[in-house]
Chains A and B, each alone.
Chain A
């Protein structure tokens, strides 16, 4: 770092400039629009046998996932480890975990859009694709957990001959409303953002068939200034709409727990606690996915150290909220003076049969965010990747212990029964990863996974600023 920098006259002119050159840059390349477009579209024009092999493998895994789901649906959920009193088990743990992961994608594309954080532009497409696929995985679980998944549509208020309506005073219709809205708005937001890039793909397609397919999906986008003006407004509005969704979806999920009377669940801290945990685990998953893709596709000059640094800092913030909540939740159990609350949070969780999962979660979720204080960790893709995988694991165990401890041992010791998953539970959980990877592989092959128009806009803005300040 140039220590004489503060004397530089440019610092007086632009304080943001001083900050900008202190930190790693957002975009390392200043290649022309032509080069940027062809480079970022490259992955969708060339396949390669490694991609095919990976698709085949994960596609097989996805079929295996459907087979296990079918087996469960046909046989009944008795093949799972859950029973009374632990009626939720793996299914709802996986549901909460996957839906939580989705939140980082929405956070990146919506919240950071409203706060005009330019670093979102090169990673929002990828993060939001992750959101969509995570919601698909999550949505499988409440449906299959019904036991008779073919009646899942009963949750929606449709006029039926039975003259029965859903009970909106329960959390299940809230969940259905929240998740279907979340998926639809995320999909629309993602697609509207995609239009200009689909048009670029249409206009540079190597074959007529590809030109027509991308042309249909681009809806005839020509980049008219009038359209851009409406596009910007729509994009901003959708960002503004998705922002409360980041907060509301996991709040609604947490209400599934909080509106019950169970010790360890019946708590007003749950909505913020779940939202922070969701964004935290989601950022970890974005890192887990993005770091290998960034290396494999050689886009380190578009997704730079600056992006890693910013995401690591958000992990630090949200992770700190999470372990702070662990402390407050435990303290409030003692402070409440309620004997069931105290027995659950102080004895059965911290020293009960599932204490290993609790302490694993507490340990990792305390250490992992605090590692992000160190620049060495924030700037190192390898260290970040390892930490992110640990966070994913810890966040799964967090949902696991919340669900299992509170239900396995509640008010009446005579009905206590410990939970043990079966191999079908494990196979379904494993299967979700295959489906996720399969969808993700299709995504990076057929859709430009870095927003091209936004990258070009960013390059233009940076270059204009540099020229203004007499650099280069």
Chain B
């Protein structure tokens, strides 16, 4: 979200009311910035299911396959080790590293997908310049409306936010002078 309107609230309950009112007024490109994952806020936004598990599954299948195949190829073909006459491709003996490979790459898949979907690392974001936004990780609950929303109407949205007890409403992603002027 590069440009939009953000309003702060003192409690997750107040934020939920405001989100529902914004949605009722036809705004759809909403996001909330909250210090802890209050489930009512996340539910109110009606976000799509996270697709992180697909990437984790992909990582897991790749990891298991890769780990098994390199063992099979290394000990069975490229450097065929005859240990006490046991079969070169000993399935049970290859299971522990296969399992570990699956777990490791599932974790990498999940984390990479999480970082990708959350667009991290991104040390600065326009919304962070909104006044008082540093409290979004401490004790304030923010809702932001994206300027690309087809129903974008900052005055209407501001009125709704203030109506539902917003402590502060401001535009972000504007040239500094404009933001200050409009925020008053």
Mutual binders A and B: yes
- Whether a CB of chain A sits under 8 angstroms from the CB of B12 is yes
Decide: B123 and A224 in contact? CB cutoff 8 A.
Answer: no
Which one of B20-28, B37-45, B158-166, B173-181 contacts A? B37-45
B172 to chain A, nearest CB (A): 12
The one of A174, A196, A199 in contact with B97, judged by C-beta atoms closer than 8 angstroms, is A174
Known: A233-B52, A460-B38. Contact between A203 and B138, CB under 8 A? yes
Interface positions, chain B 43-76, Cβ under 8 Å from A, are 45, 47, 50, 52-53, 56, 67, 70-71, 74-75
Chain B residues near A202 (CB-CB < 8 A)? 137
B142 to chain A, nearest CB (A): 8
Decide: A453 and B35 in contact? CB cutoff 8 A.
Answer: yes
Decide: B111 and A220 in contact? CB cutoff 8 A.
Answer: no
The one of B121, B127, B138 in contact with A200, judged by C-beta atoms closer than 8 angstroms, is B138
Interface positions, chain A 221-235, Cβ under 8 Å from B, are 221-234
- Whether a CB of chain B sits under 8 angstroms from the CB of A111 is no
Decide: A241 and B103 in contact? CB cutoff 8 A.
Answer: yes
Most buried by B among A165, A170, A192, A248: A165
- Whether a CB of chain A sits under 8 angstroms from the CB of B78 is yes
Known: A219-B121, A224-B32, A231-B118. Contact between A252 and B96, CB under 8 A? yes
Decide: A219 and B100 in contact? CB cutoff 8 A.
Answer: no
Decide: A34 and B138 in contact? CB cutoff 8 A.
Answer: yes
Chain B residues near A221 (CB-CB < 8 A)? 120, 137
B42 to chain A, nearest CB (A): 5
Chain B residues near A241 (CB-CB < 8 A)? 103, 106-107, 110
Chain B residues near A166 (CB-CB < 8 A)? 74
Decide: B34 and A225 in contact? CB cutoff 8 A.
Answer: yes
Decide: B74 and A165 in contact? CB cutoff 8 A.
Answer: yes
Inter-chain CA distance A246–B34, complex, in Å, is 32
The one of A167, A225, A244 in contact with B33, judged by C-beta atoms closer than 8 angstroms, is A225
Chain A residues near B110 (CB-CB < 8 A)? 234, 237-238, 241
Decide: A224 and B118 in contact? CB cutoff 8 A.
Answer: yes
- Whether a CB of chain B sits under 8 angstroms from the CB of A177 is yes
A181 to chain B, nearest CB (A): 4
Decide: A225 and B81 in contact? CB cutoff 8 A.
Answer: no
B8 to chain A, nearest CB (A): 12
Chain B residues near A157 (CB-CB < 8 A)? 70, 74
Would you call the interface of chain A mostly helix, strand, loop, or mixed?
helix
Decide: A185 and B123 in contact? CB cutoff 8 A.
Answer: no
Interface positions, chain A 166-200, Cβ under 8 Å from B, are 166-170, 173-174, 177-178, 180-181, 184-185, 188-189, 192, 196, 199-200
Inter-chain CA distance A238–B100, complex, in Å, is 14
The one of B47, B74, B124 in contact with A226, judged by C-beta atoms closer than 8 angstroms, is B47
- Whether a CB of chain B sits under 8 angstroms from the CB of A428 is no
- Whether a CB of chain B sits under 8 angstroms from the CB of A72 is no
**Which residue of the partner chain B has the closest CB to A458?**
B36
Chain A residues near B75 (CB-CB < 8 A)? 165, 167-169
Decide: A178 and B96 in contact? CB cutoff 8 A.
Answer: yes
Most buried by A among B33, B86, B122: B33
Known: A168-B75, A241-B106. Contact between A215 and B123, CB under 8 A? yes
**Which residue of the partner chain A has the closest CB to B138?**
A37
- Whether a CB of chain B sits under 8 angstroms from the CB of A84 is no
Most buried by B among A37, A184, A230, A456: A230
Inter-chain CA distance A234–B112, complex, in Å, is 10
B14 to chain A, nearest CB (A): 13
- Whether a CB of chain B sits under 8 angstroms from the CB of A412 is no
Inter-chain CA distance A192–B101, complex, in Å, is 20
- Whether a CB of chain B sits under 8 angstroms from the CB of A164 is yes
The one of A33, A173, A185, A234 in contact with B52, judged by C-beta atoms closer than 8 angstroms, is A234
Inter-chain CA distance A34–B108, complex, in Å, is 34
Known: A168-B74, A177-B97, A178-B100. Contact between A219 and B113, CB under 8 A? no
- Whether a CB of chain B sits under 8 angstroms from the CB of A245 is yes
Decide: A168 and B97 in contact? CB cutoff 8 A.
Answer: yes
Decide: A224 and B31 in contact? CB cutoff 8 A.
Answer: yes
Decide: B120 and A220 in contact? CB cutoff 8 A.
Answer: yes
B residues near A, CB below 8 A? 12, 31-38, 41-42, 45, 47, 50, 52-53, 56, 67, 70-71, 74-75, 78-79, 81, 83, 86, 90, 93-94, 96-97, 99-101, 103-104, 106-108, 110-111, 113-115, 117-118, 120-125, 127-128, 134-139
For this complex, 25 residue pairs linking A to B, each with C-beta atoms less than 8 Å apart, are: A37-B138, A157-B74, A163-B79, A168-B71, A168-B97, A180-B100, A189-B107, A200-B137, A200-B138, A204-B138, A219-B123, A220-B122, A222-B125, A222-B136, A223-B34, A225-B42, A230-B117, A230-B118, A231-B37, A234-B113, A237-B52, A237-B106, A238-B111, A453-B35, A454-B36
Other A-B pairs beyond A157-B74, A178-B100, 16, CB < 8 Å: A163-B79, A168-B71, A168-B93, A169-B83, A173-B97, A185-B107, A222-B33, A223-B33, A223-B34, A224-B32, A226-B118, A231-B118, A234-B114, A241-B103, A248-B96, A457-B38
